[in-house]
Structure 1
């Protein structure tokens, strides 16, 4: 699907508030709510919009620790490791990487004890290095780079 300037405006406004009414969104970009709704449906059907989500205050949920873990695998068979990370709620992102290490994980935990328990289980699959986040500086909006 070829996106035009209006599609990008709609996507930008939806990333700021995905619950915005179509008529209110349309008023901001000088379109009718029905026209906006039709464009949103096309964006959904084409797979540009995959889902709508919430941004949750993790501190309010008691998840004050964010850790970034680089995993160095012991074996070339990664299937059991992939199953392990898919089964762990602490793992919020996992990337296979090039360069130093094999995988980069983003972990959210309630305590250092919970992090230590996770890391002990991780040793069954490989070695690791850990970096703790001490302050979130920026949260990426994927449209920002696209719109520039």
Structure 2
């Protein structure tokens, strides 16, 4: 599906507020609500819009530590490690990487004790380096690079 500037405008507004009424969004980009709705449905059907989500204040939930972990595997068989990270709620992102290390994990935990317990389990699969986030500066916006 080839997207035009109007599609990108719709996506930008939806990223700011995915609950915006089609009519209100249409007023912003000079279209009818029905026309906006048709475009949104097309974006959904073509997989451009995969899902809608919430942004939660993690501090209010007690999630206070974000850690970035580079994992150095002990074995060439990574199946048990992949199973491990897929079943851990602390792991919010996992990437297989090139360069130093095999995997890059982003985890969120409530306490240093929870972090230590996770790291102890992780040692069954490989060694690691840990970096703790002290401040989030910018959140990912997939449209930023596309619109430039």
* Fold in common (TM above 0.5): yes
Q: Which bin holds the TM-score, normalised by the shorter protein?
A: over 0.9
Q: What is the alpha-carbon root mean square deviation over aligned residues? A: 0.4
Report the Cα offset of residue 68 of structure 1: 0.2
Aligned match of 1:68: 68
* Count of matched residue pairs: 148
Q: Distance in 1 between matches of 2:140 and 2:130?
A: 22
Mapping for residues 39-78 of structure 1, pairs under 5 Å: 39-78=39-78
CA deviations 1:45-87 (Å, max 9, x no partner) are 0000000001111100000100000000000000000000000
Report runs of 4+ in structure 1 exceeding 2 Å deviation: none
Alpha-carbon distance in 2 for matches of 1:48, 1:89: 26
SS state at 1:59 partner: helix
Q: Matched residues in 2 for 1:139 and 1:75: separation?
A: 34
Unaligned runs of 5+ in 1: none
TM-score by structure 1 length? 0.99
Q: Which residue of 2 aligns with 1:104?
A: 104
SS of residue in 2 equivalent to 1:31: coil
The Cα shift of 1:145 comes to 1.0
